[in-house]
Amino acid sequence: MIDVTPNVPEVVAEVRQLFERYEQALIDKDRAAASCNFCDTDFVGTDGPGGGKFATPENLAGACREMWRGNSGTPPFVVLTGGEPMLQVDEQLIRALHRTGFEVAIETNGTLPVPLAIDWICVSPKAGARLVQRYGDELKLVYPQDALDPAQVEQLDFAHFLLQPMDQEAKTPANLRAAIDYCRAHPKWRLSLQTHKLLGLP
């Protein structure tokens, strides 16, 4: 059984993306005890629009295809995210999504290895968590994190290095300023913004 929270279609940098959130890690664990206790989403459970429990990878891939509303001329693009998607994603699901026409990306904390069949790998390391997935397309560091400085991960094998300001309500503006300042002082790093939040979208 594959548990998925509501799918969130979103446009990022002119590419329409369908987000497939794997929530089981957050349902089964106390969020405060998780290695990532600053999750950027309020989604909990699987009963919202597009969410549910899917008996087979083909069922889930079919539901994603029905949800796809891309009209930008780009191929269907799905981002597997979480919780931690690698607790549920496997080769069968990736094949089913590919057969349905999707390009498949993943946003993972990197504590589990990612199958080579994934088309785009984004790793977002967390302080105190053992990093297993040490290469990919994009390393996105939520910033600032106590005990995890960008310099500690910038030698890893990634094509892109992004700092995303930590969303902490009253502290968010200061975190944004700190991320901007760090990127200006360290040109290897680029700023990553959650545009949907800036625009007040869910």
H or E element: which one contains 80?
strand 77-82
Tell me the pTM: 0.83
Core vs surface per residue 168-195: b (16+ CB within 10 A) or e: eeeeeeebbebbeebbeeeeebeebeee
Q: Fold for domain 2-198?
A: TIM Barrel (3.20.20)
Domain ranges of the chain: 2-198
User: Are the beta carbons of 97 and 79 closer than 8 angstroms?
Assistant: no
Each residue of 69-89: pLDDT tens digit? 765 677 899 999 887 899 989
Among 26, 87, 91, 23, smallest CA distance to 61 is for: 91
Band of residue 26 on the pLDDT scale cut at 50, 70, 90 = very low
